[in-house]
Amino acid sequence: MDWHEWHADYDVAGSTLARRLRAVQAQVRAALDESPPGPLRALSLCAGQGRDLLEVLADHPRRDDVRARLVELDPRNAAIAEAAARAAGLTGVEVLTADASLTDHYRDLAPADLVLVCGVFGNITDEDVERTVDHCAELCRTGGAVIWTRHRGAPDLVPSICAWFEDRGFDRYWLSDPNADYGVGSHRFRAAPPPLTAGARMFTFIGYDVLEGTQRSK
Ligand SMILES: C[S@@+](CC[C@H](N)C(=O)[O-])C[C@H]1O[C@@H](n2cnc3c(N)ncnc32)[C@H](O)[C@@H]1O
């Protein structure tokens, strides 16, 4: 899979990916709108070109309150995210070209107000999805939001993902329509985050194309 090319569908009007982006951005905006006053922290795991967060931050009233770290392995995507952040004057945004699965990349910013896990859960094993949800409880502050995506292809893992979040102290804030051809969820954390586990790997990014050919990227 060419993860730079993967982003091209965002610019195809009406595509599943373009509609999914709107849903994610609406949840990012809602989370920022409802955040408490003062400095905010945001994390994006496997951030790609960062459009979900950066396009919202660009004209959001809280933009200058947000310190964000986008972690993306593909240097082409990281460069595009970096350029977009600079073009928008988002001085609090940092783009790290690195393996987002490693908890150590988040040590100084967790627990954060906003955690994005988009385009990840369709590309890793179910066991790793659950393990990553476990770590989301460490990455997210009390009252913060985790916004995530997962395709709805059979077997539909979205109900299990919701149950895993909700078993770990998250409340369901919003879930995309089950009949939509993508899955987007936003969960808010009501519990107290345990300390971030040092030196842990949350997941191995396998890729939907490799995962038995049965899973999709949305
Ligand atoms: C499906 S795309 C999603 C991108 C973005 N989050 C979005 O929703 O638009 C997955 C991204 O993960 C990146 N990626 C793959 N393995 C990674 C890893 N171990 N650490 C960080 N990024 C990774 C790919 O380069 C790709 O940009």
**HEC per residue, 59-121:** CCCCHHHEEEEEEECCHHHHHHHHHHHHHCCCCCEEEEECCCCEHHHHCCCCCEEEEEECCCC
Q: Which of 1, 3, 11 to probe ligand 1 with, by most ligand atoms within 8 A of CB?
A: 3
pLDDT of residue 213: 67
Query: Residue 45: phi, psi to the nearest 5?
Result: -95, 130
What residue spans define the domains of the chain?
3-217
Q: Which residues of the chain have pLDDT under 50?
A: 214-218
Sign of CA dihedral 128, 130, 132, 134: negative
Ligand 1 geometric centre to CA of 76 (Å) = 11
Residues 11-40 have pLDDT tens digits of 999 999 999 999 999 999 999 999 999 999
Tokens of 1: 């899979």
| Beta carbons of 193 and 137 less than 8 angstroms apart | yes
pLDDT of residue 217: 47
Predicted TM-score (pTM) of the model is 0.97
CA distance 85 to 209: 30
Please name the residue that has the structure tokens 């409340």.
171
Closest CA to 10 of 182, 211, 143: 182
Ligand 1 geometric centre to CA of 68 (Å) = 16
Given this structure, which CATH class describes domain 3-217? alpha beta
Ligand 1 geometric centre to CA of 196 (Å) = 22
Q: Which of 45, 205, 208, 217 to probe ligand 1 with, by most ligand atoms within 8 A of CB?
A: 205
Q: Is 99 in the pocket of ligand 1 (CB under 6 A)?
A: yes
pLDDT of residue 215: 47
pLDDT of residue 144: 98
